[in-house]
Amino acid sequence: MTLLRRHPVVGALVIAPLCALLAVALLFAAWLHGTRIPFASGATWFSVEKVGQAHYNGEPTQPVFFLIVGNDSRGGPGNARGDALHLVGVNPALHKATILDIPRDTSAQIPGHGTDKVNAALAYGGLALQAQTVAKLVGVDVPYAMTTDFDGFTALIDGVGGIDVNVPFPMHDTYSGAYFQPGVVHMNGQQALAFCRDRHDFPTGDLQRSEDQGTFMLAALAQLRAQNPDATGTIHLLALLGRHVQLDGIGLGDLYRLVRLGLAFDPSQVRNVRVPVTNGTGTNLALGSDAQSLFRDFADDAVLESH
Amino acid sequence: MATVVAVAMCASALAACSGGSSKARSSKAAPINSSVALQLTTTNVESAGPAVAFPADVRDQAAQVVNSYVEGAVVTALRTGTSDPRFTQVFTPDAAAKATGPDRAVVTDDGVEKTTGSIDPSKATVALTALADTAGHVVLVSAALTLELRAPVAGGTLHLTRLGDLVLAPSGGAWRVAGYDLAVTRDGPGVTAAAASGRAHEGPTA
């Protein structure tokens, strides 16, 4: 992990994938009020927090939004940045969902801190401020968020037995350690981390990486769905995750319901879309001309009809 | 209608072989006193915290809930043509509304040809899996149900299979069915194409 810690920004992006599963589940958490479980009984792989006032009321017509954050874990509280940002929207009624990949360098208004890169919000104010910033950027309520770091992500993927990923193109990146040929690869935690960190193989750098993280999340969803087709399987998965998660604002029973519902989503009904951006000031990226219409399309029901 | 209930007795029989660790399980079968001789085959606790045994009281209540469902929604319906509406008492209000509404044809055997003799359960088993939180408290129970029945009806034999999960959660001071994922197949005289098979899910098993 030493090498990874030297490149924390890159690595942070990786974490999002696994979170996808949970993310989808968590989206639904809102309909339950849970207890607080401050500490996981094992090493912490990820944490889930209720970060907003919005509450899912159980109406199947109500879309729910959940933020997944891969942080770069720079070694101290308040220092980590949200380098992998994925806003997942779920529509229970339509059984459709959308993963909105948000480039880390996107310029955004951070409440109380002016304009900065969107990923700086995590360092300024933790997961709650990160969620608040993304919520304001996109125009939705984000009641729940989860975050993980390099070690947590790696352990999580290893913990679920690895993930089969259909690598879309050759990857040969010494920075991330991603060396893959196109085709299905069963990735362990380190390989998954490398796949999700690789940006040097692509002309669009972090933008492609962000999309690849979404691809990984969908692969994880597909596999966990197949591995846990029934309630008993889900309970087994939750017991595993429950030993390695910090929950704040929801309980394990809530998490079960969320995960179970999340696993009900067919990956083919989940869109993975990157937020359009363009050159901005300095290294900041400005939202693309069609970003606002995309946000509106996404915000109304979590499903993209016109994009 | 034959005798029902008394699940606690079989549950007690399983007490000694319930899961004592996070993955411990029992494979010893024990009869649940119902008219279809429902068997509680395994109990297992998946724990996010310390290894715990399946609490006897939870196991007994869960087994009782499953038994009440089978008797009320399946057996009574086969015998009388209509399920006993009291089976919804072991469901949460939301789950009950769906079970007796859009999912009625899957959750119950309402409208199926009445039996003219004994119901023969070729397989009737339940396996309980509990989810315990980091403190070792059971927060959810999954009941995996396998029900294969044969029953004489006018003109032949009805074959009925019902497979799936009932998910139980604490509600109103008791363990109740908060969700289900059930699939049913029926074959025999009087079974319409629409009633031949179906699947329904509600709540946390969706």
Closest partner residue to A242 (CB to CB) among B94, B133, B181 is: B133
- Res A129 pLDDT > 90: yes
The tens digit of pLDDT for each residue in B76-89 reads 999 999 999 999 99
Identity of the residue in A240, A241, A260 whose CB atom sits nearest the CB atom of B206: A260
What are the backbone angles phi and psi of residue B35, rounded to the nearest 5°?
-70, -10
**pLDDT greater than 90 at residue A36:** no
pLDDT of the residue at B106? 96
Q: What is the pLDDT of residue B202?
A: 76
Under an 8 A CB cutoff, do A253 and B140 touch?
yes
Confidence grade of residue A11 (pLDDT, cut at 50, 70, 90): very low
Q: What percent of chain A has pLDDT over 90?
A: 55
Q: Is the pLDDT at A5 greater than 70, yes or no?
A: no
CB contact under 8 A, B181 and A231: yes
B136 vs A contacts (CB less than 8 Å): none
Please count the residue pairs, one from chain A and one from chain B, whose beta carbons lie less than 8 angstroms apart. 84
Instruction: Kindly tell me if the per-residue pLDDT of A38 is higher than 60.
Output: no
Q: What is the pLDDT of residue B8?
A: 33
pLDDT above 70 (res A50)? yes
Helix (H) or strand (E) holding A118: none
Q: What is the pLDDT of residue B205?
A: 52
Q: How many CB atoms lie within 10 A of CB B87?
A: 25
Over residues A67-108, the pLDDT tens digits come to 999 998 755 555 788 889 999 999 988 889 999 999 999 999
**Mean pLDDT, rounded, for A137-162:** 93
ipTM above 0.90?
no
pLDDT of residue A78: 58
A7, pLDDT greater than 70: no
SS3 A269: helix
A74: left (phi > 0), else alpha (psi -120 to 50), else beta? alpha
CB-based contact, B165 to chain A, within 8 Å? yes
Question: Cβ–Cβ contacts within 10 Å for residue B89, how many?
Answer: 14
- Going from N- to C-terminal start, the domains of chain A cover 2-298
Q: Which residues of A touch B132 (CB under 8 A)?
A: 239
What mean pLDDT comes out for the span A209-228? 94
Q: Is the pLDDT of residue A2 over 60?
A: no
**Which residues, in sequence order, are CB contacts of A89 under 8 Å at separation 6+?**
A27, A63, A64, A65, A66, A97, A98, A100, A140, A298, A299, A302, A303
Q: Token pair for residue B24?
A: 């411990």
Report whether A146 contacts A69 (CB < 8 A).
yes
> Which among A232, A240, A243 has CB closest to B129?
A232
Burial class (CB within 10 angstroms; exposed 0-12, middle 13-18, buried 19+) of A273: middle
Q: Give pLDDT, residue B9.
A: 32
Query: Which long-range contacts does A221-227 make (Cβ < 8 Å, 24+ apart)?
Result: A221/A20, A221/A21, A221/A24, A221/A262, A221/A263, A221/A265, A221/A267, A221/A270, A222/A267, A223/A160, A223/A163, A223/A164, A224/A21, A224/A160, A224/A263, A225/A263, A225/A265, A225/A266, A225/A267, A227/A160, A227/A161
- Contact at CB, A231 and B169, closer than 8 angstroms: no
Mean pLDDT over each residue of chain A, to the nearest integer = 83
Residue A30 has pLDDT above 50, yes or no: no
pLDDT of residue A27: 38
Look at A40 and A133; give whichever has higher pLDDT. Answer: A133
| CA gap B130, A93 in Å, rounded | 29
Of A78, A62, A97, A27, nearest to A254 (Cα)?
Answer: A27
Interface test with A, best of B66, B140, B146 (most A CBs within 10 A): B140
Residues of A with CB under 8 A from a CB of B: 37, 39-41, 58, 230-232, 234-236, 238-243, 251-253, 256-257, 260-261, 264
B57 interfaces chain A, CB cutoff of 8 Å: no
Domain A2-298 has CATH 2.70.70.10: no
- Provide the percentage of residues in chain A whose pLDDT is more than 70: 81
Across the interface, of B22, B179, B181, the residue whose CB is closest to A239 is B22
pLDDT category of residue A59 using cuts at 50, 70 and 90: low
- Closest to B131 (Cβ–Cβ): which among A37, A40, A252? A252
Question: What is the pTM assigned to this prediction?
Answer: 0.78
Predicted pLDDT of residue A21: 44
Per-residue pLDDT tens digits for A240-297 = 988 888 888 887 777 777 787 788 789 999 999 999 999 877 789 999 999 999 999 9
Closest C-alpha among A33, A31, A32, A24 to residue A57: A31
pLDDT at A260: 76
pLDDT digits (tens, 9 = 90+) for A168-185: 999 999 999 999 999 999
Model confidence at A16, in pLDDT bands (50, 70, 90)? very low
Per-residue model confidence as pLDDT tens for chain B (206 residues): 332 323 333 333 333 233 333 444 444 444 444 478 789 999 999 999 899 999 999 999 999 999 999 999 999 999 999 999 999 999 999 899 999 999 999 999 999 999 998 899 999 999 999 999 989 999 999 999 999 999 999 999 999 999 999 999 999 999 999 989 999 999 999 899 889 999 887 765 54
Q: Nearest Cα to B135, choosing from A30, A233, A35, A148?
A: A35
* CB contact residues (below 8 A), chain B span 129-158, against chain A: 129-134, 139-140, 142, 144
- Within 8 A of A58 by CB-CB distance, chain B residues are 94
